[in-house]
Amino acid sequence: MATEQSTGRPAPAAPADGREDRAARGPRADCTVDRSGDLAVRVVLPGAAAGAQLLLRRRGDEQEVRVPLEPAAPGDGDALRAVLPAAVRLAEGRWDAYALPAPGAGRLRLAPGLNDLRALVDQERDPGVSPVAARIPYATKHANLSVRAWLRPAHAEVEELLVTGAGTAVQARLLGARLSDDAVVEARCRQDPRQVRQAPARRAGEGEEDRFTFTVPHRELAAARSGTHDTWDLWLLPAPGAGAVRVGRLLDDVPDRKKIFTYPADSLDTPRGRVRVQPYYTADNDLSVTVSDLPAPE
């Protein structure tokens, strides 16, 4: 099955945030991701002609991926099916989904149907494979179908997170790179790039060559804060001189962890007053820690 990528401009143009006129919204699409990572999309398109396609268009630029829509199965009526193989990499970002019912026809924005994403839960990955790719079909806030994609040379996948009296304790797995005995995790302050704090990254146990643990010390971040609200992004340096690898959680069926997962906050007294320290996932499902001033007691 052929799959083509292009940077051509489709017509008509759509709003950058994926919104469409509700009256013009196209049909529902059911999505399935299998163990190999292939993404299958099934959609009912009455009157579709030969050459119909599934169109994925990345927000923010003109990148496109097109996949043929072909008869889904004998006796399945007007249902068509497209399969985006795992080998076809989607650049990192959010891809809006459309149907092109015939060559030269206008595109139809797809609405989300049923998603079978069971294969994404607790999936096993070969730690030596690079790049690390992930994609999750999901319903946007405007009830349209889109695909969230990640594509990184290496990735540190969070497996466990616990807020303790010492800080944020994390167990993670390194994919796409090798972990050395001298690996460290850096907390980098967005508001003041000169502020960096390090913690050792230790192997999780005997025979765990790719799994490691670390603790982000909340008190150190609180003492180093530059303003009333600081954000510290977490990066793994797997070996001296190696490129930094972002710490986060991408390899499951949750496209927007920030909206779902909330972790306990730690309150600390500092010379500048009382502060709140709390880990959270960003809009890209990366792990960060915030340090915020708390109001003085009345």
pLDDT category of residue 287 using cuts at 50, 70 and 90: very high
Residue recorded with tokens 């779902």 = 260
Residue 246 predicted with pLDDT over 50:
yes
Residue 6 predicted with pLDDT over 70:
no
Evaluate whether residue 198 is within a structural domain: yes
Do residue 94 and residue 202 come from a single domain?
no
**Rounded to an integer, what is the distance from CA 266 to the centroid of its chain?**
26
pLDDT at 7: 34
Q: Give how many domains the chain has, as a whole number.
A: 2
pLDDT category of residue 298 using cuts at 50, 70 and 90: low
Using alpha carbons, list the distances in angstroms from residue 189 to 113, 214, 263, 291: 41, 18, 20, 10
pLDDT category of residue 135 using cuts at 50, 70 and 90: very high
Residue 1 predicted with pLDDT over 80:
no
Do residue 159 and residue 84 come from a single domain?
no
Q: How far apart are CA 55 and CA 90, in angstroms?
A: 12
Do residue 162 and residue 238 come from a single domain?
yes
Residue 2 predicted with pLDDT over 90:
no
Mean pLDDT of 101-121: 94
Q: Cβ contacts of residue 74 below 8 Å, gap of 6+?
A: none
CB atoms within 10 A of CB 227: 11
Evaluate whether residue 79 is within a structural domain: yes
Residue 14 predicted with pLDDT over 80:
no
Please give the residue range of the domain that contains residue 273: 155-293
pLDDT tens-digit readout, 55-88: 999 999 989 999 999 999 888 888 999 999 999 9
Mean pLDDT of 37-52: 92
Given 87, 117, 152, the domain boundary residue is 152
Given 152, 186, 215, the domain boundary residue is 152
CATH code of the domain in which 169 resides: 2.60.40
pLDDT at 25: 59
CATH code of the domain in which 111 resides: 2.60.40.10
